[in-house]
Amino acid sequence: MSALVEFAMFPTDSTESKSEFVAKVLDIVDQSGLAYQLTPMGTIIEAETVDEIFAVI
């Protein structure tokens, strides 16, 4: 069995640029070793179990 989860993050910091926050999230996802795909509005992660994905999120 495999699981797919799409999630999005919405920084509420008052700074203009959100790229620093997005880069941190992408780094965490990339280091997880799980398959992922970036979309315009979120990130899709694929793993064998939902628990693996939730551990990353």
Instruction: Give the per-residue pLDDT at 21.
Output: 85
Instruction: Give the per-residue pLDDT at 50.
Output: 95
Domains of the chain and CATH, by start: 3-56 (3.30.70.930)
For the stretch 11-55, pLDDT in tens is 777 778 888 888 999 999 999 999 999 998 899 999 999 999 999
As a whole number of angstroms, the distance between CA 22 and CA 55 comes to 18
How far is CA 27 from each of CA 1, 17, 57, rounded to the nearest angstrom? 26, 17, 12
37 φ, ψ to 5°?
Answer: -140, 130
pTM of the model: 0.82
- Residue partners of 31: CB distance under 8 A and separation at least 6: none
As a whole number of angstroms, the distance between CA 48 and CA 5 comes to 11
